[in-house]
Amino acid sequence: MYGLIPLPAELIERPGSLRLESIGAAGAPAGLEAEAAVLNAWLARAKAAAGVASAEGANRDGGADRSDGAIAPLGLSLDAALGGPEAYRLSISSDGVSIAAASPAGLVRAGATLYQLALSHPDALPCVEIRDEPRFAWRGFMIDAARSFYRVEFLERLIDLAAMHKLNVFHWHLSDDQAWRLELPGLPELAAMGSRRLDRRFNAVRYRTGSYSPEDVRRIVAYAAARHIEVIPEIDVPGHSTALLASHPELWCHGDHSDRLFQPEDRFGVFDGILCAGNEETFGLLDRVLDGLAEFFPSGYVHAGGDEVPKGAWLSCDRCRARMAAEGLRDEAGALDPERLQAYFMDRVSRSIAARDRRMIGWDEVVDGSCGKDVLVMAWRSHEHGYRAAQIGRAHV
């Protein structure tokens, strides 16, 4: 249907067409300057791809100067009666383009539809009326920047493509065994040591580096916000923490009586670099990390990982065994239970996140040892794990 992805809920064809080059720039009604700028950038890009010049003459309320009869207006307006927050109506006639939306987010979704039509019909846009709103509230994509570093410019381009396809959540995976990518004030060692990885592809000592400064994060968050995409950071704990342990080996279970030094991994797999659940300093450091995340990311969510934890290490750790005994973390047979220790660990992280007015997301393993009712479960192993989370009353993706 006109090459639109995803398909709109309703499309009515009208007679006639509208030349792409005749469409004027959208004006910026008060409070909608960011949305108008996104639409105008998309329209200019489509015109450049088609090899046509941009029409001039937008005014502040969304109309265009039609004194010479050559410029078709691109009008923007809000209408809460259209439906949900991302609902919109896009009308294209031979006289111009009209966009109405239930909220500013809906204007961007409508702009994405207009952009797709302009790219697929570079000569003349078909006259149509489209009414649409999303079927799913969460439409996300994830970038694993821990294993592979991506420049800010690349991320912006990807966010723009995501907005073009009406996605609304950017899940930014910022730490793993392979790297810690986020520079945090007061904790410079995390990125300084955690983002420097020996490149084993070469028979020589070479390193791969890359981290995101606070300015980088603010730039990405603002770029995404203009397109009504929420940026959710992920810091994976207690497993997948080798890169964190590169700067804080004392937080390993045997860190107080071992001279082992960690460095970010240059291979895939599940490694024994996990955080000690019996060491209070572990939770102290995570509190400081969460302070930084709350400062840089306005999202109401923080993803705390919780997947692929080789919990056998906790059974050989005196502090973890003491924690399990003190908290009564035992299985049905009365044995110390590392599965319940992980639930204890993630519950403490969840409460720390909640104290910063955020909600924790965890991979589906957090259900194995039970998790708080407010935790959002993200199923990655299979859809059955999502069903399982739903059956016990947990919100899930």
For CATH 3.30.379.10, the residue range(s) in the chain are: 10-132
| Euclidean distance between CA atoms 233 and 360, whole angstroms | 11
Is the pLDDT at 318 greater than 90, yes or no?
yes
Q: Identify the residue with better confidence: 32 or 200.
A: 32
Longest dimension (CA), the chain: 85
* Catalytic-labelled residue, pool 35, 133, 176, 364: 176
> For helices 214-226 and 280-296, what crossing angle results, to 10°?
50
| Euclidean distance between CA atoms 30 and 60, whole angstroms | 8
**Is the link from the previous residue into 85 a cis peptide, with omega within 30 of 0?**
no
3-class DSSP state of 47: helix
pLDDT digits (tens, 9 = 90+) for 51-76: 987 665 444 344 333 334 568 999 99
Determine which of 59-73, 88-102, 251-265, 269-283 has the lowest per-residue pLDDT on average.
Answer: 59-73
Is the pLDDT at 378 greater than 70, yes or no?
yes
- Residue 161 phi, psi (nearest 5): -65, -35
- Residue 303 phi, psi (nearest 5): -90, 125
| Euclidean distance between CA atoms 194 and 210, whole angstroms | 10
| Euclidean distance between CA atoms 387 and 226, whole angstroms | 34
For CATH 3.20.20.80, the residue range(s) in the chain are: 140-391
Could you confirm whether 308 is annotated as catalytic?
yes
pLDDT digits (tens, 9 = 90+) for 356-372: 999 999 999 988 877 77
Q: What is the pLDDT of residue 28?
A: 80
Is the pLDDT at 383 greater than 70, yes or no?
yes
Is the pLDDT at 198 greater than 90, yes or no?
no
Q: Are 177 and 263 in contact (CB under 8 A)?
A: no
Q: What is the pLDDT of residue 253?
A: 93
With a pLDDT cut of 90, the percent of the chain lying above it is 80
* Closest C-alpha to 26, from 116, 113, 107, 131: 107
Q: How confident is the model at residue 88 (pLDDT cuts 50, 70, 90)?
A: very high
Q: What is the pLDDT of residue 257?
A: 65
Return mean pLDDT, the chain.
92
Is the pLDDT at 47 greater than 80, yes or no?
yes
Determine which of 18-22, 60-64, 134-138, 174-178 has the lowest per-residue pLDDT on average.
Answer: 60-64
Average pLDDT of 72-97?
95
Architecture of the domain spanning 10-132: 2-Layer Sandwich (3.30)
Q: What is the pLDDT of residue 261?
A: 87
Could you confirm whether 228 is annotated as catalytic?
no
Could you write out the DSSP letters of every residue in 209-271?
---B-HHHHHHHHHHHHHTT-EEEEEEEESSS-HHHHTT-GGGBTTGGG--------SS-S--
Is the pLDDT at 193 greater than 60, yes or no?
yes
Could you confirm whether 129 is annotated as catalytic?
no
| Euclidean distance between CA atoms 228 and 222, whole angstroms | 10
* Catalytic-labelled residue, pool 65, 156, 295, 308: 308
Helical (H) or strand (E) element with 39: helix 33-50
- CATH class belonging to 140-391: alpha beta
- Residue 101 phi, psi (nearest 5): -145, 155
| Euclidean distance between CA atoms 107 and 39, whole angstroms | 9
The structure's pTM equals 0.93
Q: How confident is the model at residue 264 (pLDDT cuts 50, 70, 90)?
A: very high
Q: What is the pLDDT of residue 56?
A: 58
Helical (H) or strand (E) element with 15: strand 10-19
Is the pLDDT at 171 greater than 50, yes or no?
yes
Q: What is the pLDDT of residue 59?
A: 41
| Euclidean distance between CA atoms 267 and 265, whole angstroms | 6
How many CB atoms neighbour CB 159 within 10 A?
21
Q: What is the pLDDT of residue 203?
A: 72
Q: What is the pLDDT of residue 205?
A: 67
Q: What is the pLDDT of residue 350?
A: 96
* Catalytic-labelled residue, pool 171, 173, 228, 240: 240
Determine which of 55-69, 116-130, 180-194, 333-347 has the lowest per-residue pLDDT on average.
Answer: 55-69
Q: Are 123 and 19 in contact (CB under 8 A)?
A: yes
Q: What is the pLDDT of residue 62?
A: 41
pLDDT digits (tens, 9 = 90+) for 239-263: 999 999 999 999 999 867 677 889 9
User: Which whole-number Å values give the CA distances from 255 to 124, 191, 245, 282, 342, in the listed order?
Assistant: 67, 20, 9, 12, 19
Half-sphere exposure of 120 (CA within 13 A, CB side): 12
Write out the two tokens for 260: 């082992």
CA dihedral 174, 179, 182, 188 (to 10 degrees): 160
Q: How confident is the model at residue 43 (pLDDT cuts 50, 70, 90)?
A: very high
| Euclidean distance between CA atoms 240 and 310, whole angstroms | 9
* Closest C-alpha to 270, from 302, 313, 299: 313
